Structure formats: structure tokens, C-alpha cells
Chains A and B, each alone.
Chain A
């Protein structure tokens, strides 16, 4: 059974960089034809797709986050990563990683709460 697990700091200072890791187990990222996504949900609000990457490193991002976000992948470690620069309080959210194709995310991590605060 495919499993995903988010990890990273739970507190980030304003203007700094948010960095998260998603570790995939139960299958190899490099054998998988799906994309690997980051999705976030501010407290009490709806879901927001951030971006996705495939095993070849092809990425696509939410247009309004382009320039601040980078998603990368390390197939040797079966991990993919999120970096979000110049964070503000508006970036406070539960961050999920997921496997997706065409927007259909069938496996999700449990999520990790990231708070932006000084």
C-alpha cells in the first residue's frame, strides 16, 4: 500500500523559506507514471493546489505562486520536496503531499501544519 509522509519545521519566520519533504513508501517514485503534488489548506479554509512534479522532474505550479515555489524530486531517496520563499502569515496552512494525475489525488499524506510567525 502506497504511503506518503510529510516532514519539516512546524514554524517558519516571516520572509524566510518554508521547506518540506514528502517521503513515499510502498512503491518507487521512479516507476510511477503519476505526478507528485503539494496541496495546502489554511485553517478553516479550502484546499489549494500548489504544484506537482513527475519522476522526470517536469513541474507545473499554481500561477499565482510561480516565482516563490519550487518543487523538486530525489528518486534515489523516494522523496520529493517543497520550497516556498518569502513566506507571510497567509502561507500558514496544513500542507499535504499526494500522488495525483489530472488533479485526481488518490493517495495523501496525513499533512503537516506549518505556522508562519515571528
Chain B
């Protein structure tokens, strides 16, 4: 039950788009359409941004979108804004547990 693999950091300028990848195995990301993404600001609880690979909870802007191909999921943030800066975690249902990615720090330049 290794953690899902995410890049440690990504960056982009305001208005640009960034994509964060999340690589697992056929026992987690590739085997279930239950991938979720979280945004976390310093000293705050995580916030659900995407669930079931592509769905957005109420109140999450459509600038955030999710996708999956094989064992890799991705989160794309378009029209970057300063408030998007923070840590992002992917998460997947696995065979009989749930596993998180190691997290990606997004810097808005």
C-alpha cells in the first residue's frame, strides 16, 4: 500500500494552466473510478476539489477539472489565481483501503 506518486512541486503564472499527475497501480487508481483531489492551505483542513475522478463538489469553480488514463489520474487548474497556491493531494480507493498521494506544492508565480 505505497502512497500514490505525485510531483513534489509545480508552478505557474496567474491565468495559466497547470496539471498535477497522480500515478498508482491497477489496485488503486487504475482499478477504481474513485479518485479524489484535495487542496490544503497552511494550517487548514484539506478541502475536497474533485471526486469520482471528474466530479466537482458544489462551490468548486469549473477551473478545476479531473481526468484519468490507466493508472494515472490528473488535476488541471486553468486560469490560475493567487489563492490556488497551496498543497494538493490525490486520493484513491484501493482494494480494501484508501491511499493518498504524497502531495504537490503549487506555487503561483
Contact = CB atoms under 8 A, between A and B. Distances in A.
A106 B57 contact: yes
Interface residues of A, number: 23
A103 B98 contact: yes
Contacts of A49: 91, 97-100
Contact of A60 (B32, B89, B92, B97): B97
A96 B98 CA distance: 15
B46 A108 contact: yes
A111 B45 contact: yes
Most buried by B among A52, A60, A100, A103: A103
Interface in A82-108: 96, 100, 102-106, 108
B23 interface: no
A76 to B, nearest CB: 27
Main secondary structure of the interface of B (DSSP, over half): strand
B88 to A, nearest CB: 11
Interface string A18-51: 0000000000000000000100000000111101
B45 A102 contact: no
Contacts of A103: 34-36, 51, 91-93, 98-99
A77 interface: no
Interface string B1-39: 101000000000000000000000000000010111010
Interface of A: 37, 46-49, 51-52, 60-64, 96, 100, 102-106, 108-111
Given A49-B98, A103-B35, A103-B99, 8 more contacts: A52-B98, A62-B1, A62-B98, A63-B1, A102-B32, A102-B36, A103-B92, A104-B51
